[in-house]
Every structure is written in C-alpha cells, then in structure tokens.
Structure 1
C-alpha cells in the first residue's frame, strides 16, 4: 500500500462568478471531511456574501491581493502573506483590486456548503 497520494486531477468546483476553485483534497475530491486544500483564483471585482463558517480557514496569497472583512475589521493581504481565521467567525472575502488574486485555502474540517453558513445577499 502506498503511503502517499499525488493529486494531478483536482476537482474543479463549478462557479458562476468567474472564480476558479480547484480542490486538491477534501470532500468533493476524495471524500476527506477532515481537511480541504484548494487552489483558487479570484478575478478582479469578485466578492462573496458574509459567512460564519464552522471550520478554521487558512489562506496563503500567491499572487495579487485579497480583502477580508473580519468582525467589521478590513484586512488586506498581499502575495507571500497568510492568515488563519478561527471557526465561527463572521467574514467576507473579496477582491476589489484591479488584478486577480491567486491563493491557497486550507479548511479544517473540510469545506462543505453545509458548514459555510453564508448570509443571504
């Protein structure tokens, strides 16, 4: 039995907002509910509604900038920076900048639409 898994075909999550989401490990890709790891590209002008996820989320910015509004505080991260947001924290993610933002997101437990708790827009 192999003691490693190489992911060459991540699950591409269908979106309607221009965002690219490639889940390498997690619920959609391999049924792992403990952790999800995704590579994402958020286009200029992209945003999501506020949400209060029931998971910790780590974000590492590869290229560009991403805006976070966390409990009313606006934070902007640039390439090479990262953040950990505790579960049950109200947050909004967006890219109000002119260039797209490429980043990695790690969720523990794994991202699930049932755990994200998005607010109605």
Structure 2
C-alpha cells in the first residue's frame, strides 16, 4: 500500500507492506482531492475498476458504490480506517468492485448515457 506523505501512517500497519511516497511538491495536484459535495469520485471508481479495495468516508455518494469493493468508515474514525485498511491488507474485503464498475460504468454504458443526454439536448 502506498500512502502520500511522510512517516509511517499507523504503527498497527505492517511496515513491510506499507510505503510512503513523501509529500508532493506544492505545485503538484493532489492524487485524490477530498470534497464532501463531490458526486461519485473518479479515483475511487478507477481503483475499483482495477480490483483495488477501497476504504472511504461513509458519505452518501460513497456508501452504495464502495459496498461491492471495499468499506466505508464513519467520517473522523481514524481507528476504524486503520482497522479496515489492515483488513484489506489481510485480503478481507468484498471483491465485486471491478465487476460492478465494468458493468455499470464501463465505456459502453458511458457512451450510451452520454448519447441519451446529448440527444435530449438536441431535441430541446
């Protein structure tokens, strides 16, 4: 597991299975900007599409999406996050995330939905 920042993220996580990438330069864009108002975060969907388990804040836009490929944890529950990350490192997580993203958000679905929206705009 890679964690952006410096220092070991949590002493309960095994040092041999976690690495820190260091702090990004101040001019670099964050790898996962956090916004409570964000709809469906693309980075979460991208991780799930590759089969990577996700641990995310228990926000309404995350709850249903993440349930098939990871866990949600109450906002601010640092110990809960650490526990779920540890479970993922031990291979204990739902593994349906990739299939769900491919089925519901693959290129064919995206093209179909986009075409419907554009057709609706054209028709007035």
TM-score range, shorter chain: under 0.3
Return the structure number with greater strand share.
1
Larger RCO, structure (CA 8 Å, separation 6 or more): 1
Normalised TM-score (structure 1): 0.26
Return the structure number with greater helix share.
2
Normalised TM-score (structure 2): 0.26
Larger gyration radius, structure 1 or structure 2:
2
